[in-house]
Amino acid sequence: MDQFGSIVKQEVVRSKALEVRVLRTLADLEPYAEDWDDLVFSNGRLPMLSHAWLSAHLEFRQPTERPWLCLAAVADGRLVGVLTLEERRIPVLGKMVVSLHQPGDGHTRSIDAVITPGWERRVVTAFRKALDETVPEWFGVELLGVEERSQLLREVEALEETRAVVNPSGLATVRATQGTWDEFFMNECSGHFRKHFRQYGRKLAKFGTVHSEFYTGAEANPEYLDRFAVLEAAGWKGREGSAVGADPRLREFYSAVCARLHARRVLEWHFLRVDDRYVAGHFAIRSGRTLVLWKIGYDEAYAECSPGFLLIGEMLGKAFADPDTDSVNFVTDRTWLSSWRPAKEPYFDLWVYPNRVRSVVAGVWPKRARQHFRSVPGLKAGLHAVRSIVKK
């Protein structure tokens, strides 16, 4: 029984030895959950791509007016690829068509295909065929903010009867953790950085004995979400109403996410406390050899000591010492993260269109026209100037 109260029979689209199963209910997804999560976490992909995360989004946050479908590519009974999309009916050149998008919001991002290495071309081709057979009137697919390592991004240009448009759309901050903490701290960090890091530590110690707590594997109890939620609410997210605990439905979503990640033994919690008072916390996920830092919270009563900054230092120190960790992915790109001397990895917006008149005229051409105008030197600044004059 899915969230809409009905069971929908699975459709199967075959392509030689590979078959694509079109799943439309949460119950349909469940048999693939473990293999799906293995595809994500064994290959170091973002945790939002996993069944553990995405199924929680579909259950608690997916708008009921947007039906979704999941393409599951299976070979010899083994899941080798998965892509989840939502359907939106829109008018295009006088006709109602289906526009396909990644499900998600600010709490579920970068949804994309996940494919077993070596199967990319066959799976992407089979997905394209499955869309033609399952949603014959599909206008296009829009995937915003996908990773540079996206397998679909690499393969889509080779598809027959298909056109793709790709635009850069932001950066992820990624800190490599090879070597040692001491080498990083003394050789890569500025004297200004080291001075302030030590000063913040001394300031915090004046309030009491400082402890750090790191919970991984079976010890990363999903109930620590309660502790983290209090810390997040003690900062700006609490004031703006965007903290985990601000909305009961959002809290329900994150409770489900944490329980499902914990079942896969990839959930992590990091906390900093002074005596018995917690002052900073991290909600993190282990994916392959990467630690993904999804949420940061700290108590602003201790803002002068920068407890969040200190906890990141503690976390990186452990990551440098861990032979199973190659990097920490902060997912976003905030100015203050630059002090950790990270690399930047790009995100891209990807649009995929069938080579049909309506999709080309109303999809491909406008997107490529925007690309062209953005590349014209001074055009953007000129348009801003014109808008300013018009407003006056």
Q: pLDDT value at position 45?
A: 97
- Tally DSSP H helices, then E strands, for the chain: 14, 14
Cβ atoms of 51 and 36 closer than 8 Å? yes
* Burial state string for 283-306 with b = 16 or more CB within 10 A and e = fewer than 16: bbbbbbebbbbbbbbbbeebeebb
Which residue(s) pair with 78 in the sheet?
75
Residue 37 has pLDDT above 90, yes or no: yes
* Separation of alpha carbons 22 and 326, rounded Å: 36
CA dist list (Å): 65 to 4, 57, 87, 143, 345: 10, 15, 9, 19, 34
103: number of Cβ within 10 Å: 18
Place of tokens 């899941």: 79
Whole-number average pLDDT of the chain: 92
CA 165 to chain centre: 21
Mean pLDDT computed over 258-266: 98
Mean pLDDT computed over 340-349: 96
Mean pLDDT computed over 20-49: 98
User: Please, which residues have CB within 8 angstroms of residue 56's CB and are 6 or more apart in sequence?
Assistant: 253, 256, 257, 260
Q: pLDDT value at position 242?
A: 77
The percent of residues above 90 in pLDDT, for the chain, comes to 86
Mean pLDDT computed over 108-131: 96
Q: pLDDT value at position 38?
A: 98
Comparing 11-25, 116-130, 186-200, 262-276, which segment has the lowest mean pLDDT?
11-25
Cβ atoms of 370 and 100 closer than 8 Å? no
- For 55-91, write each residue's pLDDT tens digit: 999 999 999 999 999 999 999 999 999 999 999 999 9
Q: pLDDT value at position 14?
A: 64
Token reading at 82: 């998965």
CA dist list (Å): 14 to 39, 46, 181: 21, 29, 51
Cβ atoms of 348 and 165 closer than 8 Å? no
Token reading at 37: 């999560």
- Between 392 and 275, where is the model more confident? 275
- For 290-300, write each residue's pLDDT tens digit: 999 999 999 99
CA atoms within 13 A on the CB side of 334: 10
Residue 374 has pLDDT above 80, yes or no: no
Q: Which of 81, 27, 79, 78 is nearest to 55 (CA)?
A: 27
The percent of residues above 70 in pLDDT, for the chain, comes to 91
